[in-house]
């Protein structure tokens, strides 16, 4: 979501005459749009700020910090780096031109260079999209769930939904501009509309979006507690909704899930993904896991490992637990030693790599519709994503970037799949359902 907000910052400042530059050393204004969800991301920002401040003592440029870290650590940032010129919160991007002009005017009091509001709305921003074939569209912001380890409700506020009209208008506009794929964004998209019943629910929104003739629709992220059968059925019936579900589980142990305030059990999670696979053929389910949550024992961790066996995820994003100041779990002793967390993380990665490879082998010799995303310079091949979000490498010409083509899968490894394009080039067969005019689903 931050990367989409950054597109909003770029678009807004472009309206005020600023241009993006490739080299930070040539910038008049440097802005960090930060994330505070993980300690690692935060440390990276502090490291970068430290490097930059050395240069700031010698050359003149404005330095601003925004996003989650500014929202929840304003005092710490200003105390540690008084050289920061301006700070803005998670819903204060529209204030940026004013903050920058105040800094340029030199006269402003430091407090006039800080804008941190209580997050309670969704900013309307003139997004300057980095891709001309894949677009992100925000549908909700914030989250009302308060998982014990998570800073999001504090940094981004309670969940707010955008109106279906605004969403459909934006998806229609990008479709008219020739975009091939839209990613509907929210911290917890399945809870869409719960803050405003007039908006309907997520299944209803998906149904409306799927009638826009954009070839591919994805969404992220979902919460297992809020996922409904209606959403799964909508995914199955609309031809342009891709067969990928990112469903963060976080742990395989019920004891830890309860401590995390996740509000589902391992059995409920497994039943949900079994249902999802029955409803949506060829569904690829991916997940997030945390290892080393306070009090996580070897028995708890072995339940996370066995969850991998049972769930057969396509891929897993695993993180070592780190306490986030201000969250509920930050009050608990961080009692799993760092080396144990690292060992558990490596065990998850090792086992998951094998599982992912076994799952990918099932795709060998199949034809897949692939949206070509770019050139892998190292491999000298193109790369793209299948509808189920798996990456494929294949030889081809750069002119194919942004197109949806058919690729035959020939090789599976622990990394990406490898394949070849059909000659002459074949675009996936069109087979819309429910009146959707779109490509692909019939091609595999």
The answer to whether the CB of 386 falls within 8 A of the CB of 392 is: yes
Q: Is 65 helix (H, G, I), strand (E, B) or coil?
A: strand
Count of Cβ atoms closer than 10 Å to residue 6 Cβ: 20
CB closer to ligand SF4, 143 vs 318: 143
152 near ligand SF4 (CB under 6 A):
yes
The Cα–Cα gap between 229 and 203 comes to 9
329 near ligand SF4 (CB under 6 A):
no
CB closer to ligand SF4, 71 vs 188: 188
Q: Nearest approach, Cβ of 83 to ligand SF4 (angstroms)?
A: 32
146 near ligand SF4 (CB under 6 A):
yes
The answer to whether the CB of 190 falls within 8 A of the CB of 159 is: no
Site for ligand SF4 in 114-143 (CB under 6 A): 143
Strands 381-386 and 367-376: antiparallel
Q: Nearest approach, Cβ of 328 to ligand SF4 (angstroms)?
A: 10
Q: Degrees (nearest 5) of the Cα angle 183, 71, 188?
A: 30
Radius of gyration of the chain (CA): 23
The answer to whether the CB of 355 falls within 8 A of the CB of 327 is: no
CB closer to ligand SF4, 187 vs 251: 187
Q: Nearest approach, Cβ of 150 to ligand SF4 (angstroms)?
A: 3
Q: Nearest approach, Cβ of 140 to ligand SF4 (angstroms)?
A: 10
Query: Binding residue for ligand SF4 (CB under 6 A) from 5, 56, 95, 145?
Result: 145
Q: How far apart are the first and last CA of the chain?
A: 31
Q: Nearest approach, Cβ of 322 to ligand SF4 (angstroms)?
A: 14
Site for ligand SF4 in 218-257 (CB under 6 A): 223
Stretch that binds ligand SF4, among 21-29, 145-153, 352-360, 434-442 (CB under 6 A): 145-153
Q: DSSP character for 38?
A: S
For residue 220, which of 126, 280, 139 has the smallest C-alpha distance? 139
The Cα–Cα gap between 402 and 312 comes to 30
Site for ligand SF4 in 259-298 (CB under 6 A): none
Q: Nearest approach, Cβ of 188 to ligand SF4 (angstroms)?
A: 5
Stretch that binds ligand SF4, among 100-108, 120-128, 150-158, 268-276 (CB under 6 A): 150-158
CB closer to ligand SF4, 150 vs 242: 150
Q: Nearest approach, Cβ of 223 to ligand SF4 (angstroms)?
A: 5
For residue 125, which of 165, 93, 172, 171 has the smallest C-alpha distance? 93
72 near ligand SF4 (CB under 6 A):
no
Query: Binding residue for ligand SF4 (CB under 6 A) from 6, 34, 91, 188?
Result: 188
Stretch that binds ligand SF4, among 149-157, 210-218, 341-349, 428-436 (CB under 6 A): 149-157
Q: Nearest approach, Cβ of 22 to ligand SF4 (angstroms)?
A: 33
The Cα–Cα gap between 205 and 216 comes to 15
The Cα–Cα gap between 384 and 397 comes to 13
Helix (H) or strand (E) holding 152: helix 152-156
Q: Nearest approach, Cβ of 287 to ligand SF4 (angstroms)?
A: 12
Helix (H) or strand (E) holding 355: helix 338-361
The Cα–Cα gap between 364 and 410 comes to 6
Stretch that binds ligand SF4, among 49-57, 106-114, 147-155, 361-369 (CB under 6 A): 147-155
For residues 104, 106, 108, 109, the Cα torsion angle rounded to the nearest 10 degrees is 130
Q: Nearest approach, Cβ of 54 to ligand SF4 (angstroms)?
A: 35
Count of Cβ atoms closer than 10 Å to residue 92 Cβ: 21
Tokens of 352: 């998951």
CB closer to ligand SF4, 152 vs 285: 152
CB closer to ligand SF4, 151 vs 174: 151
The Cα–Cα gap between 65 and 20 comes to 17
CB closer to ligand SF4, 153 vs 428: 153
150 near ligand SF4 (CB under 6 A):
yes
Q: What is the binding site for ligand SF4 (CB under 6 A)?
A: 143, 145-147, 150, 152-153, 187-188, 223
């Amino acid at each position: 979501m931050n990367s989409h907000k950054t597109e909003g910052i770029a678009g807004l400042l472009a309206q005020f005459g600023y241009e993006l530059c490739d080299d930070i050393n040539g910038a008049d204004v440097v802005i960090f749009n930060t994330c505070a969800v993980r300690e690692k991301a935060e440390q990276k920002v502090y490291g970068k700020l430290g490097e930059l401040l050395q240069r700031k003592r010698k050359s003149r440029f404005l330095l601003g910090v925004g996003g989650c870290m500014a929202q929840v650590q304003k005092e710490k940032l200003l105390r540690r780096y008084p050289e920061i010129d301006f700070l803005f919160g998670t819903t204060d991007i529209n204030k940026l031109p004013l903050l920058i002009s105040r800094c340029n005017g030199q006269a402003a009091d430091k407090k006039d260079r800080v804008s941190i509001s209580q997050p309670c709305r969704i900013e309307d921003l003139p997004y300057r999209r980095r891709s001309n074939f894949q677009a992100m569209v925000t549908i909700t912001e914030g989250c009302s769930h308060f998982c014990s380890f998570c800073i999001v409700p504090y940094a981004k506020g309670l969940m707010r939904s955008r109106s279906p009209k605004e969403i459909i208008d934006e998806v229609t506009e990008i479709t008219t501009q020739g975009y091939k794929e839209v990613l509907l964004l929210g911290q917890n998209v399945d809870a869409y509309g719960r803050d405003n019943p007039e908006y309907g629910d997520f299944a209803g929104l998906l149904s409306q979006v799927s009638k826009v003739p954009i070839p591919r629709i994805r969404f992220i992220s979902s919460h297992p507690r809020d996922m409904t059968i209606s959403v799964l059925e909508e995914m199955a019936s609309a031809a342009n909704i891709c067969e990928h579900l990112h469903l963060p589980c976080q742990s395989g142990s019920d004891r830890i899930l309860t401590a995390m305030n996740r509000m589902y059990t391992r059995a409920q999670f497994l039943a949900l993904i079994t249902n999802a696979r029955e409803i949506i053929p060829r569904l690829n389910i991916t997940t997030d896991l945390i290892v080393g949550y306070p009090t996580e024992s070897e028995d708890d961790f072995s339940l996370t490992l066995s969850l991998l066996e049972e769930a057969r995820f396509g891929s897993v994003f695993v993180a070592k637990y780190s306490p986030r100041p201000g969250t509920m779990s930050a009050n608990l002793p961080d009692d799993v030693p760092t080396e144990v967390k690292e060992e558990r993380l490596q065990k998850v990665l090792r086992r998951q790599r094998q599982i992912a490879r076994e799952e990918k082998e099932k795709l060998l010799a199949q034809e897949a519709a692939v949206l070509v995303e770019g050139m892998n310079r190292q491999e000298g091949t193109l790369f793209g994503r299948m509808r189920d979000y798996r990456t494929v490498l294949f030889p081809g010409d750069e002119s194919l970037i942004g197109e949806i083509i058919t690729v035959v899968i020939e090789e599976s490894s622990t990394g990406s799949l490898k394949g070849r394009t059909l000659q002459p080039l074949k675009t996936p067969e069109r087979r819309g359902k429910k009146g959707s005019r779109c490509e692909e689903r019939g091609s595999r």
